[in-house]
Structure 1
Amino acid sequence: MSGEGGIQPEPTRQRLPDTRPSTTHKVKIHDKAMGTVTVYITAGMYADGKPGEVFVGIGKSGTTLNAMISSFAIMVSMSLQYGVPLEAIIRRFAATRFEPMGATSNPEIPLCVSIVDYLVRWLAQTFGHTDVLQELEVRGTPNGE
């Protein structure tokens, strides 16, 4: 879809203010092969309460997994700041499978099939999009496909 005269409009990045509210969440994922992995999630919010940035780290710093998860969180943050709806991120990445996976220490999200799966489920729960998860479960379409 083109703008006026066939020119594409430049995407606009909505940066967060220098001081903003945030929430931090800690969860343990009990994976049969990897053991217990501690995950820390921090979501920074705009003044209206919508998320605009996400940081994810795992207890095993310096690992490839930690670097990949951190990079994924940066991409989620940039996507949100450029206007990608949180619902679209949830739809695409819920049920993404890779280790670690298994039971969690969060009774509201008792199982996950990856850190990415847990992250988007937690974002859905925290920011009022549980309906998207329910819709995906009813349709049986992981990853929104």
Structure 2
Amino acid sequence: MTRAILPERRAVETFDLRHDSMSFTVSIGFYDDGRPGEVFVTGTKAGSGVEAVSRDGAILISLALQHGVPVDVIRHAVTRTAGDEPSSIIGAVVDRLVQEVGS
């Protein structure tokens, strides 16, 4: 599958998200047709392990989206609790993507 390159200028949505009593800032970049194509996640404590994992997870989400993986497929692949809640900030970000743009 070929990677779809994002336009140089693109719409971006930024919002705050809390998960596991921690605050994160999430930015989502969109293709011209409204599909999400990139995700950035930053935590409140720069240099922490949680922030590094959240940034790396955002990169992996971005690469998957750019290679055509549907958001819903990513959602079903991440770890969830018995109550179908996301187990990590990455799962919470993917849930928000599903809410914003569907599957």
Residue type at the aligned position of 1:59: T
Paired amino acid for 1:24: T
1:4 corresponds to which residue? none
Quick one: higher RCO (CA 8 Å, sep 6+), 1 or 2?
Answer: 2
1:75 maps to 2:65: no
Tell me which residue corresponds to 1:108: none
* Contact residue 25 and residue 41 of structure 1 kept, 8 A: yes
Matches within 5 A, 1:1-145: 11-29=1-19, 31=20, 36-93=21-78, 95=80, 112-129=86-103
Pick the structure with greater CA Rg. Answer: 1
Helix, strand or coil at the partner of 1:120: helix
Instruction: State the alpha-carbon separation in 2 of the partners of residues 86 and 127 from structure 1.
Output: 9
Q: CA RMSD in A?
A: 1.9
Determine the C-alpha separation between the residues in 2 that align with 1:95 and 1:63. 23
Q: Which whole-Å CA distance do the structure 1 matches of 2:29 and 2:56 have between them? A: 16
The alignment's TM-score, normalised by the length of structure 2, stands at 0.86
* Alignment partners' CA distance in 2, 1:40 and 1:123: 14
Tell me the percent identity: 36
Deviation at 1:96, TM superposition (A): 6.2
Which digits, 9 at most, give the CA deviation of each residue in 1:24-47, with x for residues without a partner?
110233x4xxxx411111110000
Structure 1, unpaired ranges of 5+: 1-10, 98-110, 130-145
Stretch of structure 1 that moved more, 87-96 or 118-127: 87-96
Number of residue pairs matched?
Answer: 101
> With structure 1 as the length reference, what TM-score do the two structures score?
0.63
CA spacing shift, 1:53–1:96, aligned 2, 3 Å:
farther
Shift in Å, 1:117:
2.2
